[in-house]
C-alpha cells in the first residue's frame, strides 16, 4: 500500500488529516490489499483534496474501483452540509448522470447465443460513436420535456411503459431541475443526440444470468438463471458535457467571490445555497433528467429490435432498474446520530439504498435497491442490493464498475482491436463497434477485475451480491 495510507479494517484504509494541507476530515478507501497494488498516488491525492472542501461530512470516501480522475477521483463519494457545504461539478464530472440500466427478457440463453444478426440489428438501430445523431427526432419542446421530466417525459412520449418509472432511481427524473440554468449551447447539443449511446466506455450489451447468489432478491428483481438481459450504459451526451463546462466557469468566479481555497481548479465550487451553487444544481439536474430520458429512448429502440426478431411483446422486457453513477443529490442521512439533509456527490459511484429506504418501490422495500455494476467488455457484470451498512458508512453508496488500471496508450501497445474481437469471439462474445480503436481502448485487461471489486463491497457490506451476468454480445461507439 502507498505510504501515508493506513489500514483501519479489513478492506478499509484511512488517509489521515494532514496528508494534504487543509483537510477537514480524513479520507476513507474501501479496498482489498491486492487491489491496493494498483492504487495510484494521484487518486489518493484527489481523495485528500476533496477533504479540504468546506462543509464536508464524516469522510472523503472512495469505493474499491477508485482511480485517478479530475477533481474528485473516480469512485469518490462526499456528502456536504447543506448550510455550510459546497457543491462542485468536479464531484459529478462532465458526463452528468452517466448511468446504467438492465432490461430483462423472457428469452433463454439458447435462443440468443451466437445471434450475430441481433447484434448487427441493435448496432444499426441504436446510434453509437463519435458524430452519431438520433433517428428519434427531438423538438425544442421535447428537449424541455427531457430536461424537466426525464424518463417520465420519454414514457409519456411513447418510449416506454409506466412501470419503467418505478424502476428508475428518483422515479426517472429529479424534480429540482431548472432548464433556465442550461445554456443555449447545451440545448443545441442536446437536440440531435436524444437516444444516442456515445463512445468511450459506453455500451449496450446482451447478457445472460449465469449465477444467482440470493434467490429471494433475484426473484424480486425479476431475474432467473439462464435468462437473457440487456444492459445499457450511457449518459447525458453533449448537453451534460456543456452544462459541466459552462458551470465550472461560473463556479470558478464563485470560488473566489466566496473566498474558498481549493487545491485543484477542477474542484471549483460554491456554497450550496448560493445563487451560483443552486444554478449549477438546477442545470445538473436537468442534464441528469436528459440522461434518464436518453436511456429510456435507447430502451425503446432495444425493445423494438427484440420484439421484431424474437416475436415477443414490447412489454415482455421489464426494466429491472436504472442507476445514476455521476450525480449530486439532496438526501437524508444520519450524521452524528441526527437525521439531516445533505448534498451527496457520487463521481463514479452508485447509490446503494438499503431496505426500507425512501425512493424504493414498495415491492422492493424489504430487499433493498437494485445496484447494477457493469463489467468491462467481455467480463461479468453484477447485480447487488443496497444495504443498511451503506446507509451508515457511505451515505448509501457503493462502487460503480471495475475501474481502469491501464491507460489507453498502454492498452493499444498490448493488443489490437482486431485481436480483441477475435479473442472474445472464441468465448462466444460478439463485439460490434465503429472503430477498432474504440475496442482496443476498452480491452478487458485494462480494467481491474470486476469480480474482485464487487467482492470487496460485498464483504464490507456496502451492497450484497444477488446475481452475475456474462456477455453474449456488445455494441460500442
Partner 1 sequence: MSFEEISHTADVKIRARAPTLEALFSETFKALMQVMYGATRSGGIVREITVESPDNESLLADFLSEVLFVSEVEGLVFADARISMNGSRLTAELTGEPFDPVRHSGGSEVKGISYSGLSISHDANGYMLDIIFDV
Residues that bind partner 1 (CB under 8 A): 40, 46, 67-71, 74, 90, 93-95, 129-131, 185, 188-189, 198-200, 238, 241-242, 244-245, 248-249, 252, 264-266, 268, 404-410, 434-435, 437-438, 441, 477
Least distance in angstroms from the C-beta of 38 to partner 1: 9
C-beta closer to partner 1: residue 214 or 294? 294
Least distance in angstroms from the C-beta of 202 to partner 1: 9
Partners of 330 in the β-ladder? 343
Q: Which helix (H) or strand (E) holds 158?
A: none
Least distance in angstroms from the C-beta of 88 to partner 1: 12
Contact between residue 240 and residue 94 where contact means Cβ atoms under 8 Å apart: yes
* Grid coordinates belonging to 52: 479540504
Least distance in angstroms from the C-beta of 107 to partner 1: 31
Least distance in angstroms from the C-beta of 170 to partner 1: 22
Least distance in angstroms from the C-beta of 370 to partner 1: 26
C-beta closer to partner 1: residue 187 or 385? 187
Q: DSSP 3-state assignment of 1? A: coil
What separation, in Å, do the N-terminal and C-terminal C-alpha atoms of the chain show?
Answer: 36
C-beta closer to partner 1: residue 130 or 425? 130
Residue in 3, 67, 42 with CA at minimum distance from that of residue 403: 67
C-beta closer to partner 1: residue 93 or 160? 93
- Give the Cα separation of 351 and 462 in Å (integer): 10
Contact between residue 103 and residue 318 where contact means Cβ atoms under 8 Å apart: yes
- Give the Cα separation of 412 and 325 in Å (integer): 27
Least distance in angstroms from the C-beta of 404 to partner 1: 5
C-beta closer to partner 1: residue 241 or 300? 241
Contact between residue 454 and residue 65 where contact means Cβ atoms under 8 Å apart: no
C-beta closer to partner 1: residue 199 or 398? 199
The Cβ of residue 397 has, within 10 Å, a number of other Cβ atoms equal to: 30
- Give the Cα separation of 247 and 142 in Å (integer): 23
Q: DSSP 3-state assignment of 470? A: strand
Contact between residue 75 and residue 413 where contact means Cβ atoms under 8 Å apart: no
Catalytic residue among 241, 247, 345, 400: 400
C-beta closer to partner 1: residue 157 or 248? 248
Least distance in angstroms from the C-beta of 95 to partner 1: 5
Q: Which helix (H) or strand (E) holds 102?
A: strand 99-108
Partners of 81 in the β-ladder? 342
Got the DSSP string for 339-352? EEEEEEEEES-EE-
Instruction: Give the Cα-Cα-Cα angle 204, 210, 216 (nearest 5 degrees).
Output: 105
C-beta closer to partner 1: residue 35 or 383? 35
Quick one: how far is CA 94 from the chain centroid? 12
Instruction: Decide if 400 is catalytic.
Output: yes
Question: Is the alpha carbon torsion for 360, 363, 367, 371 positive or negative?
Answer: negative
Residue in 359, 194, 374 with CA at minimum distance from that of residue 289: 194
Up-side HSE of residue 96: CA atoms within 13 Å toward CB?
36
Least distance in angstroms from the C-beta of 152 to partner 1: 26
Q: Which helix (H) or strand (E) holds 155?
A: helix 140-156
C-beta closer to partner 1: residue 266 or 380? 266
Residue in 42, 122, 111, 52 with CA at minimum distance from that of residue 74: 42
Which residues carry out catalysis? 400
Amino acid at each position: 500500500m502507498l505510504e501515508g495510507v493506513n489500514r483501519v479494517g479489513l478492506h478499509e484504509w484511512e488517509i489521515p488529516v494532514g496528508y494534504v494541507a487543509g483537510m477537514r476530515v480524513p479520507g476513507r478507501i474501501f479496498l482489498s490489499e491486492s487491489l491496493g497494488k494498483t492504487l495510484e498516488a494521484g487518486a489518493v491525492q484527489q481523495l485528500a483534496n476533496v477533504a479540504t472542501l468546506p462543509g464536508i461530512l464524516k469522510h472523503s470516501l472512495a469505493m474499491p474501483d477508485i482511480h485517478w480522475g479530475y477533481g474528485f477521483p473516480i469512485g469518490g463519494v462526499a456528502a456536504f452540509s447543506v448550510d455550510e457545504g459546497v457543491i462542485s461539478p468536479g464531484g459529478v464530472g462532465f458526463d452528468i448522470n452517466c448511468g446504467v440500466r438492465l432490461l430483462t427478457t423472457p428469452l433463454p440463453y439458447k435462443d440468443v447465443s451466437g445471434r450475430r444478426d441481433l447484434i448487427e440489428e441493435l448496432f444499426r438501430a441504436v446510434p453509437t460513436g463519435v458524430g452519431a445523431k438520433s433517428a428519434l427526432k427531438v423538438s425544442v419542446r421535447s428537449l424541455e420535456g427531457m430536461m424537466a421530466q426525464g424518463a417520465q417525459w420519454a414514457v409519456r412520449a411513447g418510449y416506454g411503459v409506466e412501470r419503467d418509472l418505478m424502476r428508475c432511481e428518483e422515479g426517472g427524473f429529479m424534480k429540482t431541475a431548472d432548464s433556465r440554468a442550461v445554456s443555449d449551447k447545451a440545448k443545441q447539443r442536446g437536440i440531435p443526440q436524444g437516444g444516442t449511446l456515445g463512445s468511450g466506455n459506453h455500451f449496450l450489451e446482451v447478457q445472460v444470468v449465469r449465477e444467482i447468489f440470493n434467490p429471494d432478491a433475484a426473484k424480486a428483481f425479476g431475474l432467473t438463471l439462464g435468462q437473457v438481459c440487456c444492459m445499457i450504459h450511457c449518459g447525458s451526451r453533449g448537453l451534460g458535457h456543456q452544462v459541466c463546462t459552462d458551470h465550472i466557469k461560473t463556479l470558478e468566479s464563485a470560488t473566489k467571490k466566496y473566498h474558498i481555497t481549493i487545491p485543484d481548479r477542477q474542484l471549483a465550487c460554491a456554497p450550496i445555497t448560493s445563487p451560483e451553487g443552486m444554478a449549477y444544481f438546477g442545470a445538473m439536474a436537468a442534464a441528469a433528467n436528459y440522461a434518464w430520458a436518453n436511456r429510456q429512448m435507447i430502451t425503446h429502440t432495444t425493445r423494438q429490435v427484440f420484439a421484431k426478431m424474437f416475436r415477443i411483446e414490447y412489454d415482455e422486457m421489464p426494466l429491472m432498474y436504472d442507476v445514476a453513477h455521476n450525480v449530486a443529490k439532496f438526501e437524508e442521512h444520519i450524521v452524528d446520530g441526527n437525521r439531516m439533509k445533505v448534498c451527496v456527490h457520487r463521481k463514479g459511484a452508485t447509490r446503494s439504498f438499503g431496505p426500507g429506504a425512501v425512493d424504493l418501490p414498495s415491492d422492493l422495500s424489504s430487499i433493498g435497491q437494485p445496484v447494477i455494476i457493469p463489467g468491462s467488455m467481455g467480463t461479468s457484470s453484477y447485480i447487488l442490493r443496497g444495504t443498511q451498512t451503506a446507509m451508515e458508512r457511505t451515505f448509501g453508496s457503493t462502487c460503480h464498475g471495475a475501474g481502469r488500471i491501464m491507460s489507453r496508450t498502454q492498452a493499444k501497445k498490448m493488443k489490437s482491436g482486431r485481436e480483441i474481437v477475435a479473442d472474445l469471439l472464441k468465448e462466444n462474445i460478439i463485439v460490434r463497434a465503429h472503430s477498432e480503436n474504440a475496442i482496443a481502448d476498452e480491452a478487458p485487461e485494462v480494467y481491474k477485475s470486476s469480480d474482485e471489486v464487487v467482492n470487496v463491497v460485498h464483504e464490507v457490506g456496502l451492497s450484497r451480491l444477488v446475481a452475475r451476468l456474462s456477455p453474449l454480445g456488445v455494441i460500442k461507439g
